[in-house]
Structure 1
Amino acid sequence: MIRQLLLMLLAASQLAHAQAQVERIAQAPVDEWFYGVADPRNRWLPDADIGKEMAVPSDAIAKRNGGYVWAMTSTSDNLWFSTLSNGWCGWMMVTGQFLPTRNSRWACETFRSSYPDNAEVDVRLPWPDGATIVQADWRRPSIHRHNTTTGEFFRVESEHPTFQAIMARSFGFRAAGSADGVVFMASNPLVRSDKSVYLLAFNGESGEFIDGVKLANYINVRRFRTVTHADGSQAMYVFVGSEMHSSAHPNHLLRWVGSPETPFKGAGNDTGFEVVGDLGSAGSGVELIEFEGRFVLTTWGSETLPAGLYQTSPFPDGGFTPEQPASFGKIFDAADFDPDPVIARSWLIGALEEFNGYIYWGAMFPNGQGFQQLVMDSPGLLFAAREAIIKAHRSTHLFRTDLRDENKPKTELLYGKEKLWAYNGQWTEQTNLLGVRPLFGDAGFGAFFNDYTWTMVKYRGSLYLGTFDVSGGMLAIRDETDCQLSCFVLRTLSEHATLSKEVPGFDLYRFDSTDRPAVAVTLDGFGNPANNGVRNAMVVGDDLYIGSSTYSNIDAEQGGWELFKLTAPSFKEMAE
């Protein structure tokens, strides 16, 4: 009888999700007339906005610079999100050392960009004169508020000098959070010498700008989290620190101590945030969730410690403070799994979420980093680079950890490799250090170019998981991109034999229980192969909102980020 009931509930769950509706509700606007790499006629259109398409001259290409829905938060029925321009170009330029490149999908001008010197720009947003910037394909970031009840979109703007100054120094707003009716947007620095994270604060309902602040000596921010403590108080926390594989800057857990009226004043300081934890040499904190009175978090590692899964000491009754700070204990790291200790240092750990009592978490392997890490240790591999690039590559792995016995956490491999290539003067295939087979499937969920478990969110009793799938970009690199030696690693990966089996477009999976494999919701970016990643997802009301990333900025139809609304009926609605 119990088994029959469970089967009925499972069938109802699958049927409910089978009837899920997906609607694209927004796309990055055309915001540039593009004539060619470094062409002085290129013209950025600062007034372009969602739903406000700009006419394009017949001899120009419609360019959608908006590449990522880079951060998301919500207040009541308002979905807030920020966008990043040309994230694919920045990713390739910074980590792949791409030269200026154009094909049918993207134009990455890099150091030859004609923006803004020879383009019409918003005079309110001055270019940082004489500054070395992170990415020359940068365009002004944008922040949006979507009223999920009325369906309206609002571009969040302000003439306030602080707002304008921070917009001019912001690479893009990578983290968003809300507390006490205040929405925060946090940006990595655009100018390399700034070495600061920038924050903006807004009224979450009206969208009115309140204030902004610079947090010095940090260069990375990823995720805010608001929690309720044992005494009923609430607080918002955020990690700030270094970038991947680095401890060049402090890696701190901060707590917001400001107020809605003065968000960047409080506890005797002029930032509104206090340091309440120090990750030290563990590297940058990336994603965090609250689980049974602690934070559980993932890291991107440092020069001395691999990326891993950590947990804090228990929250004091009123939360972490400078007097009662968080301490951090490692649960698992890449060196506990990968048989090659050098490649293990190339791992990055990504999204995590609690589901039915377990912590699910995934890994990230961008841009041939395994090879890049390995060749620094063994330069001779440059003479056999093609073999090394393929064997050092890791597709995303998915794990889950049972923390019920805090003295003996148990980590399982759900999707991944039983055996991995390791190099010690010669290549050998070795069993992973857990000594286990994956419970549900191969690395990358069976796709070689699923590089990143990027987003996880619970919705309607299931766990949704979105990937970063670079197969579409790899096809373009292989078939139509002349980037010469600057993309040798990526071109070698793109020629891998399994590429013909790849389905371009992000994958979105759904777990309905802990004892069954994931179900594919989409394998092709909801029908758009240029959608290479699920960058953010958030539940607002009865709907799941999903923001994509893209490798395309000059494909008129498929280019630019997209925002989707997924609606699945509840069990009650199914019964009715």
Structure 2
Amino acid sequence: MLALAVLALAAAVNPAAAAGDDDSYWFQLLAKAQADECFNGIGLPYPAGPPCAEGQPKVNQAYVWGLTRIGSHVWFGTGAQPNCLTSGATLDVLKPTVNDNYVCEYGESQTVKNDPTWPAEIGDQRPPEVWLYDARTQRSVNKSREISARSAADAERLRTTIGLRAAGNLDGVVLLGGPALNDSMNLFAFDNRTRRFLGSATLTAYGNIRTFLQAEGGLYLGVGVGTNGISGGAVLRWTGSRRAPFTFDQVATLPVQAADLTYHDGRIATTSWPAEQPTTVDRLAGVWISPVLADGAPGLTTEDATGWKQVWHARLYETDRVVAATYGGGGVASFGGYLYWGTMHVPMKATKVHQSVYPQTTDEAKVNQVVNTQRGISIWRGKDLGLPTQQIDLLYGETELPTYDPATATWSKVSTGRTPLYGKSGFGYPFNNYTWRMAVAGGRLYVGTMDWSYIAQDLLAQGSGFTTADRSGVGASAIDPAAFGGDLWMFPSASEPAQQVSITGLGNYLNYGIRNMVPDGDDLYVGMANPMNLRTDPTDDVPEGGWELIKLTAPSS
């Protein structure tokens, strides 16, 4: 069924591809993941290497998942094979797969075979890594070994961390964290001045971690409760130091997990991911704002925990109630007096949930369900949030969306009640499924996406039981290779549409997403997402897989 969604999306026009990338920007590759394992077949032991006398080199570290900067020091944490972890844990795909680009072993992984208690759905997990790039020396150093060498407890925390999803800093202390086994959260701390590892800790009250934010001299952290944050969420304020780096106050108690954070109009704003089986709008993906940071004690305190307000949610746009429950909140930024944000859509997640609520019995009904539940990202902005004068604009999205009527078992287009100011969903390309990050630098707002079209071609090649001619009359050839790779778009001002910076993964089309961005004056450090773990041959005509850290130099204003 996944291939059917690919066919439907491939039929859409991609107006962006023809224009190519903006050559006034300069992309400099600073560091890149290297092969770290030898793959010799699904379910087989991993031979020694690399270099690999047997099997082929494999690069597990796929995402620059957490990213923060202090002066010339750029710290980041990685995630290994998140595409396999998402398909296993979110979509319940447990059948191993291998192609020219990547392998997912799930329960056949040696991780599971060596530890039968390890969940099969995340069998492709590998311990994440901590890296430090020094812009002065132009050298990158893997700091993970210091964690493992410190103590058995530190090494075990790193082993059981499902990627270092967030990174932040304050007062010279660098914090990196990620979700861990047993619905908990692991944190690791470094001293930026000495570059030494300070220690690690497990926070058992929280099951996910999203984003750190500095605002008005404080450091804040968005988290989730329960498995992948489905039981609620919170915002924490760091109260630690070099000697005690793992103390926090909870300054927001939310019915949903906090996703991306930004500082806007004297408050903190956060996008959110939905709670499990959301039955009320406050449990849907949305946007929340804090009390004013200047009220009372400086910054947010525990007294502010219940004072947050939801100002937007997915049901204010999405016309199908089941699909609305699968939306995620993505990147968010304050720009030109507005709060900007975007949505996120795991491919086929909405279909999976829709099938569980409204099972279909015929092939035609199943095809329609797949086609009508896919969504590209929508981009929004708002001002006067939480006030009677609140204004919210849809910048990129749809005037109508497919909606299912269970009484008649049919789909129809229903008005969203919105007219986009600038264009259609996904910046005009339906394969843009995540608004992964927003960042402001040099008076410009940058928006980075995930584009799953490169993976989609593999799904078509694997077949679906339906021929191309049966349905849309298009095939893999309709997926434009000129558009492979995550997109980077730029708003030059709050009164202009976005301009295309890159639709090719910043020069490597295997980079299916711009996962992270941190400003450096007018420029950006950009962390890429690239899970093509079997693309490791530098002599072929295909670029290599694995994470990349890139410096984007913007043209002068």
Question: CA 1:447–1:139 in 2, change beyond 3 Å: closer, same or farther?
Answer: same
8 A contact 2:436–2:513 mirrored in 1: yes
Asked whether the 8 Å contact 1:69–1:84 carries over to 2, the reply is: yes
Shift in alpha-carbon separation, 1:423–1:129, aligned structure 2, 3 A: closer
Mapped contact 2:27–2:507 kept (Cα < 8 A): no
Match of 2:292 in 1: 314
Structure 1 CA distance, aligned partners of 2:531 and 2:289? 34
Contact 2:490 2:499 in 1 (8 A): yes
- Which residue does the alignment assign to 1:14? none
User: Is the contact made by 2:262 and 2:333 (CA closer than 8 Å) also made in structure 1?
Assistant: yes
Question: Cα deviation per residue 1:479-519 (whole Å; 9 max; x = unaligned)?
Answer: 1x37x79x99xxx9997789434621111111102222211
Matched, 1:106 2:111: no
Q: 1:22 aligns with which of 8, 19, 27?
A: 27
C-alpha distance 235-551 of structure 1, shift in aligned 2 (>3 A):
same
1:420 aligns with 2:401: yes
Number of corresponding residues: 510
Contact 2:106 2:120 in 1 (8 A): no
SS of the counterpart of 1:395? coil
Q: What SS does the aligned partner of 1:478 have?
A: helix
Q: Does 1:555 align with 2:555?
A: no
The alpha carbon displacement at 1:292 in A equals: 1.8
Shift of 1:290: 1.2
1:149-548 aligned at under 5 Å gives the runs: 149-156=136-143, 157-158=145-146, 159-161=149-151, 162-189=153-180, 191=181, 194-228=182-216, 234-242=217-225, 247-248=230-231, 250-264=232-246, 272-279=247-254, 281=255, 283-302=256-275, 303-304=278-279, 305-315=283-293, 316=295, 317-325=297-305, 327-380=307-360, 384-403=365-384, 406-424=387-405, 425-432=409-416, 435-479=417-461, 481=462, 499-501=478-480, 503-541=483-521, 543-548=523-528
| Cα distance between partner residues in 1 of 2:249 and 2:361 | 46
Q: Which amino acid in the other structure matches residue 413 of structure 1?
A: L
Distance of 2:476 and 2:97 partners within structure 1 = 24
Aligned partners of 1:243 and 1:300 also within 8 Å? no
Separation (CA, whole Å) in 2 of partners of 1:551 and 1:82: 15
1:295–1:405: structure 2 CA closer, same or farther, 3 Å change rule?
A: closer
| 1:56 counterpart (52, 56, 59) | 52
1-structure distance, mates of 2:176, 2:472: 36
Q: Secondary structure at the match of 2:138?
A: coil
Instruction: Indicate how the Cα distance of structure 1 residues 325 and 407 shifts in structure 2: closer, same or farther if over 3 A, else same.
Output: same
8 A contact 2:311–2:385 mirrored in 1? no
* Pair 1:341–1:542, CA change in 2 (3 A): closer
The answer to whether the Cα contact below 8 Å between 1:145 and 1:154 also exists between their aligned partners in 2 is yes
Residue 564 (1) aligns with residue 522 (2): no
Of 314-323 and 219-228, more deviation after overlay is shown by: 314-323
The 8 Å contact of residues 351 and 362 in structure 1, kept in 2 or not, is answered as yes
Q: Distance in 2 between matches of 1:329 and 1:144?
A: 37
Check the 8 A contact 1:128/1:168 in 2, yes or no: no
Q: TM-score, normalised by structure 1?
A: 0.83
Secondary structure of the residue that 1:394 maps to in structure 2? coil
Gaps of 5+ in 2: 1-21, 537-542
Question: Is residue 2:39 matched to residue 1:34?
Answer: yes
CA deviation string 1:43-62 (max 9, x = no partner): 4x5xxxxxxxx5333x5212
1:217 & 1:244 partners in 2: Cα distance?
A: 11
Q: SS where residue 322 of structure 2 aligns?
A: helix
Alpha carbons 1:37, 1:109 under 8 Å: kept = yes
Change (3 A) 1:306 1:553: same
After superposition, what is the alpha-carbon deviation per residue over 1:17-72, rounded to whole angstroms, capped at 9, x for unaligned?
853211112211111122211222444x5xxxxxxxx5333x52121111111110
Q: Deviations over 1:354-393 (max 9, x none)?
A: 1111111101111222222322222236751111111111
Question: What one-letter code is carried by the residue in structure 2 that aligns with 1:427?
Answer: W
Root-mean-square deviation (Å): 2.6
Q: Which runs of 5+ in 1 are unaligned?
A: 1-16, 46-53, 118-126, 229-233, 265-271, 572-576
- Written as runs of structure 1 = structure 2, the 5 A alignment for 1:79-98 is 79-98=74-93
Rounded to whole Å, the distance in 1 between the matches of 2:155 and 2:140 is 21
**Structure 1 residues 238 and 381, CA gap change in structure 2 (3 angstroms):** farther
How far does residue 569 in structure 1 lie from its aligned partner after superposition?
4.3
Separation (CA, whole Å) in 2 of partners of 1:19 and 1:509: 13
Change (3 A) 1:133 1:35: closer
Q: Which amino acid aligns with 1:113?
A: S
Q: Is the 8 A contact 1:453 1:467 kept in 2?
A: yes
Instruction: Work out the CA distance in 1 between the residues paired with 2:457 and 2:122.
Output: 24
Deviations along 1:309-335, one digit per CA (max 9) or x if unpaired, are 111121234122224435111111111
Q: Distance in 2 between matches of 1:473 and 1:366?
A: 13
CA-CA distance at 1:240 after TM superposition: 1.7
Q: 1:508 to 1:181 in 2, by over 3 A?
A: same
Q: Equivalents in 2 of 1:290, 1:494: separation in Å?
A: 47
- For residue 131 of structure 1, report the CA deviation from its aligned partner: 4.1
Normalising to structure 2: TM-score of the pair? 0.86
> Displacement, 1:440?
1.0
Task: Out of 377-386 and 141-150, give the one that drifted further.
Answer: 377-386
Give the counterpart letter for 1:40 in structure 2: P
Q: Deviations over 1:283-305 (max 9, x none)?
A: 11111111122111111122223
- How far apart are 1:180 and its partner, in Å? 0.8
Distance 1:212 1:493 in 2: 53
Which amino acid counterpart does residue 200 of structure 2 have in structure 1?
A: G
